[in-house]
Amino acid sequence: MRLNLYTSIVLVFGATSSHCWPNAPLVTSGRWILNSNGQNVTYAGVNWPGAADVMIPEGLQYASVASIVAGIKSLGMNAIRLTFAIEMIDDIIDGGGDVTLSTAFNKALGTTNGPLVYKEVLAKNPQFSASTTRLQVYDAIAAECYKQQIYVHLDNHMSKGGWCCSDTDGNGWFGDTYFDVTKWKRGLQYMVTQGAKWGNLMSIGMRNELRHPLDNASLNANTYNWPTWYSNMVAAAKVISAANPGILIFFSGLDYDTTLAPIAQGSGSGVTFKKSDFSFADKIVLELHNYETTVGSCSTLQSNLVGDGFSTLTAAAANQMPMVMTEWGHDQTDGSYAGVYASCLHSYLPAQHVGWTIWVLAGSYYIRSGTQDYDETWGLYNHDWSAWRNAAAIANLKTMVQATLA
């Protein structure tokens, strides 16, 4: 009997619902994330992009959902950061429903290459069909992750689907060209409601890499500041908490999410962030990105991280909260894994009991910045997602996973 996608997902959830994992919901206590048994939970995972032009998670023309997730599991990882674009939810709500995979590929890749890639996706993933939609792919990935006991962390990467990021892409700041704040909050609400059905959606990042909107000089000059950040991020967090009270809410910072110092310190220009102000205080997590790949010493990198917001981990912090480094990474085609930057994070993050998700799983993208079948040299997978790109780097990464989860 051939099962359709919906039936398959229900059977997966039904078969595993009696298990203790994932011991949800997760909560925070001081600088720790705890499961329902009171045990510490630390993310050790990878970014799986799904927010680009097609708005379907990458790699499915080369490999099945099950095999990709099995690869993640083979590294010992316990989490994925699964990115999405608000445009997908806009299409669902304003356009009369989600679009099929065929429509999505044809729109992004054209009517010549789109059908070819679509057929490859179906060949590798026969559980999908002509009626499968983009959001149902997210459902399927979550179901497979549940089956293999991997947490899902959703991340709103962009408003308009595309490669992230630049200061002029119209997605960088509240009220930017494509960054409609009302639709953003609506999209977050929609996804955490949808994800509540999965069973393994533990957390969501409200917005990836907030940055100067240099495409809009007035917006940049008048609103790029912490008070604007506060009013919008707090409002979105309240929407999320109301829609899915069990979920952890990740607050990202400014300057491509490289600084959250005023939040950890409880300072601010005209507004002060106080964790105790919020009814969902035990659901707040901070997230930072770091790509200081040319740093000269580990001590410098550590000092920078403390100044950027890792001070939140200390008892002396005005706001003591968990920290997760949701993006870091490096070239996978050379020996970067043994350099100062990667080696420092390899030891420092586990020592600090800080969770992380490395950028990036994808060996290639359906399309990136106009180039189709774009090769990703930072990808853990090789171009066709059939093997790891750099065996030595992967062996090293496995030891970091082990240290993080020890």
- Which pLDDT score, from 0 to 100, does residue 2 have? 36
Give the structural domain span for 303: 5-14+37-405
pLDDT of residue 270: 72
CB count in 10 Å sphere of residue 40 = 12
- Measure CA 204 to chain center: 8
Which H helix or E strand runs over 287? strand 284-289
| Tokens 């600090």 sit on residue | 352
d(CA 319, CA 316): 8
- pTM for the full model? 0.95
Element (H, E) at 218: helix 217-223
The verdict on residue 29 lying in a domain is no
What is the pLDDT, as a whole number, of residue 323? 99
β-pairing, 355-358 vs 364-368, is unpaired
On whether residue 23 sits in a domain, the answer given is: no
Residue 27 lies in a domain: no
In a domain, 22, yes or no: no
Q: How would you class 288 by CB atoms within 10 Å of its CB: exposed for 0-12, middle for 13-18, buried for 19 or more?
A: buried
The span from the CA of 308 to the CA of 250, in Å, is 16
DSSP characters for 211-238?
---TT-HHHHHHH-SHHHHHHHHHHHHH
- Asked whether residue 24 is domain-assigned, the answer is no
Per-residue model confidence (pLDDT) at position 169 = 98
Number of domains, the chain? 1
pLDDT under 70 in the chain at which residues? 1-19, 268-269
Residue 271's pLDDT is 85
Encoded amino acid at 2, one letter = R
Q: Which residues of 164-180 are buried (b: 16+ CB within 10 A; e: fewer)?
A: bbeeebbbbbbebbbbb
The encoded tokens of residue 323 equal 């920290």
Please tell me the distance from the alpha carbon of residue 196 to that of residue 176, in angstroms, as a whole number: 29
Express each pLDDT in 300-310 by its tens digit: 999 999 999 99
b/e 316-336 (16+ beta carbons within 10 angstroms → b): ebbbbbbbbbbbbbbbbeeeb
CATH of the domain at 90: 3.20.20.80
Amino acid at site 3: L
Q: Tens digit of pLDDT for each residue in 74-122?
A: 999 999 999 999 999 999 999 999 999 999 999 999 999 999 999 999 9
